[in-house]
Structure formats: structure tokens, C-alpha cells
């Protein structure tokens, strides 16, 4: 009963290329800030921020998928791990945006000054 070592060098380079490409896209969008993304708003934020959130969630999902070796597992186990994490990220994003909008409105319309 011998186990042969299988090289996964091509898979590692694939993961590196995908994560590098997404990071490069994020950096270029952050430097260039295209007007069609930066000046248009959706649900209280500009589209550029939504693109950053989506790319960040994609990278987190892909890192978990690759480095936790979920690609070879059964789909029920994959969804049991990934779906709660994606739900929590979306939920935390909703809470942060809602509370941030409220606090901004309180400081904007009141006599309380920004002191931080």
C-alpha cells in the first residue's frame, strides 16, 4: 500500500495567477478610480466600493476553496462551510453600512462636531 506523491505545481500556479489577477484589478481600479464607477451610487455607496467588496469576497472564497482543499470535497460539505461565511460577510456589510449612514446623518445635521 504505497501512496505516490502527485505534484500539484500547476494548481498552485493557477491559484497564484487568479489571486494575482484579482489583486492587480483592485489596485488599478483604486489608482485610476474610473468616473463611471466612482460617481455612480447604488444603495448608498459608489459602484467602485461595491466592486471592491465583491472582489474581496471572491478572493476570500477562492482562498478557502483552494487552501482548505474544498474543491475535492462533496458539495454538501462545501456549501456547509462556504454559505454561512458568505452570509455573515453580507450581514456584517449591511450592519456597517446602516450604522455608518446613521452616524453620518447624526453628525451632519446636528450641533455635535466631528472631534475624532
For residue 32, CA distances in Å to 28, 29, 51, 54, 115 come to: 6, 5, 14, 18, 31
The predicted pLDDT at position 11 comes to 84
User: What is the pLDDT of the chain when averaged over all its residues?
Assistant: 85
Q: Which residue has the higher pLDDT, 100 or 44?
A: 100
| Cα–chain center distance at 96 | 15
Q: What is the pLDDT of residues 52-109, one digit of tens each?
A: 989 998 998 888 888 887 877 888 988 888 888 888 988 998 898 889 888 888 877 7
Amino acid at each position: 500500500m504505497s501512496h505516490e506523491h502527485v505534484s500539484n505545481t500547476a494548481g498552485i500556479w493557477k491559484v497564484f495567477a487568479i489571486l494575482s489577477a484579482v489583486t492587480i484589478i483592485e489596485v488599478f481600479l483604486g489608482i485610476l478610480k474610473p468616473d463611471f464607477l466612482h460617481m455612480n451610487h447604488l444603495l448608498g455607496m459608489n459602484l467602485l466600493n461595491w466592486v471592491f467588496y465583491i472582489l474581496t469576497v471572491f478572493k476570500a472564497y477562492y482562498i478557502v476553496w483552494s487552501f482548505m482543499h474544498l474543491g475535492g470535497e462533496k458539495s454538501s460539505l462545501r456549501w456547509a462551510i462556504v454559505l454561512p461565511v458568505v452570509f455573515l460577510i453580507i450581514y456584517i456589510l449591511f450592519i456597517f453600512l446602516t450604522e455608518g449612514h446613521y452616524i453620518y446623518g447624526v453628525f451632519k445635521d446636528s450641533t455635535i462636531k466631528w472631534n475624532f
